[in-house]
Structure 1
């Protein structure tokens, strides 16, 4: 019997086993996890529980962490050494700072994402990661941030987004806000990072084939991590069938897109005597590391960061505002107070709006789970023992729901928890004072040496967009009252099926 036939036979037996064991457990996979679903079996570990909750893995593992006294759980899949998920801030600090060099992407993780992200900054460790971060950091200084807000974002907002929303409001048209925000973010990241305008946010909303291709690549790559039998995707990849065939097609299209951007940029740079352009791509191409495949990986990684994270954060933000009119009222009050300020000063001083964005990302972080691999044996601060090669993930989605971190009202969307508390009231200047949380309690932007370089840029972009939209429109979900959108996560968070909304012009 060949190895393929043997693996196929084993798979058939396991599928049959799953059918028998999950026949009764499927009904238990409700919105609240049943502890019985964590029952471990010889050989397959917790695979039954993982399978029964396969469509809501983020929410299920969050439930488990919430119920764990240490906010840490261990899951075992078929023939693997276990995966640790934690929402314990001490563990997060240990991984992301104290023992930073012991917790890396790891070779298996890199292989899993390599077809999509290659050697880009989000799929790399060591010297290559250090180099990419060093070059990229030049693009995120104060001067670049100011330029980003005052030119790129404001132009996209005033000349493209607002006219589209005005037309939709006048015609009572339903738009998918998630799609609109992705187009907005995609145009912005391409302009600021690559000096290229893809013009996806136009009145006719041109077919976003790139967006679908990008989403397919991210989804399939993410599913490689969550599959019960990792060897199956490797077999499909070898024979170029099923989802792996689609991933190969998608990544080929993405790399062709990126290489065309690089080709145009190289031509542009060759016609200049000095580096006048300060966009990220120009910096990389002029750094002496101009290998096309390497730079292509960088382009795709920054599209992922710039397009998917801010659009995900804002999609959930506008939904939360629609459910909390008292918060929207406070934000509108702040926007009107700042409306006479220059753009940069306006967004910098929007303290309540900043707090509301932090609060939204507490509940719906753009990257719900992020994983590392232990490079040597270790013990986490909560006593969890790790063997070399163990995959350990910190879980921002679960951490935002821990009562011990946020109080008994953690379910409430409450920007005030980020401001001076009631006993202090407002400060002497008559303004709210923002009170941040340490990045290990709130690791939405990672923490330690890999903390997100674009954090400030993301906040400035989001606040400018929130002010621009809410000043003119009320965003009204098109779904029936009481219907909550479904949170899904691949490499980044999404709202399943999009976010259909109407826009209502506000009276002056």
Structure 2
């Protein structure tokens, strides 16, 4: 039933289900070097027994990473003094207010505030203007840089995008902001919950450490490509805590779902990866358990078997964490490479220990992406070589 609905909206009738004008109005307004900035900060924290907010650290890392990869720009947000970044604060505020538009029980209120330019809508308008100015400055600098070159020498996505002939500044500005949201918030959210789950499941952490040590002599790409158990554990973590917990489309035309349900033009339809990842009908009676072995063949009961596992992916319509069909996430493979590189870099050197009292579980909250309410305070313990 669920997978039929997703196949209908994400594949068979892909062109009929869009974000829709309502949701457009509501939301309008290559691997980073892990050791270069991230590891020294964690080493200092470990030496001083300092508590850090790992959610914040991962967001800083992801922000620097996506800006460098996509735009050839280094915001230097992940530095030892953890500098304030007005852009990031503004970005988070805009995302929160935009998300609140969806969750309000009285949608007309935000529309009234927008018309009169008051309250949260006034702040959203200001924040959106600041964000677009930031993006335009990046684009302006890139255009100037490209104009001074006789040939394309850089590999960042923005320079290649501009060099291909895209000159609509508003369109390119939207691309810049979307890239930041798509990478910075999703990968950091996935990794935040991942490290919390590892802290609660030491047997899984031990297996990942075995794999990291087995692959430690391989080149970076080969190292992460062959980390099968780690890949499975990331998939399992995102099953329980997907970076995008809910997604909504709007029917552009009348439709009838395979089960006979009539969908009228303009109807909003949603699917919930968070809920789907916790359904017994999809994952069995042990759905609550953090169990990477459910993604593996040859794993037996989870006993180490010298790396002879093979990864078995799930139907994307049962596991739509990266969407499915024509809308499947283009950055999926890059995201896994980045996450596995971060996991290997951190766990090889440190044990991540939550600073909260035993038994206190973090709270899952949702804006446009998932967050850990109040951050994720942790300590880092150096591992013996």
Q: TM-score range by the shorter chain?
A: over 0.9
Tell me how far apart the structure 2 counterparts of residues 235 and 273 of structure 1 sit (CA, whole Å). 51
Partner SS state of residue 351, structure 2: strand
The normalised TM-score by structure 1 is 0.74
Q: Note if contact 2:100-2:367 (Cα within 8 Å) is conserved in structure 1.
A: yes
Given the alignment, which residue of 209, 216, 224 partners 2:86? Answer: 209
Q: Note if contact 1:427-1:433 (Cα within 8 Å) is conserved in structure 2.
A: no
Corresponding residue number in structure 2 for 1:467 = 344
> Which is greater in Rg?
1
Corresponding residue number in structure 2 for 1:492 = 369
* Pairing 1:330-345 to 2, within 5 Å after superposition: 330-345=207-222
Distance change >3 Å, CA 448–CA 456, structure 1 → 2: same
Q: CA offsets, 1:160-213, max 9 Å, x none? A: 100000000000000000000000000000001000000000011101322221
Gapped regions of structure 2 (runs ≥ 5): none
Corresponding residue number in structure 2 for 1:191 = 68
Q: Note if contact 1:219-1:491 (Cα within 8 Å) is conserved in structure 2.
A: yes
Tell me how far apart the structure 2 counterparts of residues 107 and 391 of structure 1 sit (CA, whole Å). 11
How many Å apart are 1:421 and its aligned residue? Answer: 5.3
Q: CA offsets, 1:459-489, max 9 Å, x none? A: 0000000000000000000000111111011
Tell me how far apart the structure 1 counterparts of residues 163 and 72 of structure 2 sit (CA, whole Å). 14
Distance change >3 Å, CA 426–CA 409, structure 1 → 2: closer
1:95 to 2:9 alignment: yes
* Pairing 1:305-324 to 2, within 5 Å after superposition: 305-324=182-201
* Pairing 1:109-508 to 2, within 5 Å after superposition: 109-115=23-29, 148-149=30-31, 153-154=32-33, 157-420=34-297, 431-508=308-385
Partner SS state of residue 467, structure 1: helix
Partner SS state of residue 373, structure 1: strand
Partner SS state of residue 41, structure 2: helix
CA RMSD of aligned residues (A): 1.7
Tell me how far apart the structure 2 counterparts of residues 246 and 318 of structure 1 sit (CA, whole Å). 34
Q: CA offsets, 1:213-272, max 9 Å, x none? A: 111111111111222222211110111111111111211111111111111101100001
Q: CA offsets, 1:385-415, max 9 Å, x none? A: 2111100011110110010100000000000
1 or 2 for the larger relative contact order (CA 8 Å, sep ≥6)? 2
Tell me how far apart the structure 1 counterparts of residues 300 and 114 of structure 2 sit (CA, whole Å). 60
Q: CA offsets, 1:95-133, max 9 Å, x none? A: 100110111111111111111xxxxxxxxxxxxxxxxxx
Q: Note if contact 2:239-2:319 (Cα within 8 Å) is conserved in structure 1.
A: yes
Distance change >3 Å, CA 437–CA 370, structure 1 → 2: same
How many Å apart are 1:292 and its aligned residue? Answer: 1.8
Gapped regions of structure 1 (runs ≥ 5): 1-69, 71-87, 116-147
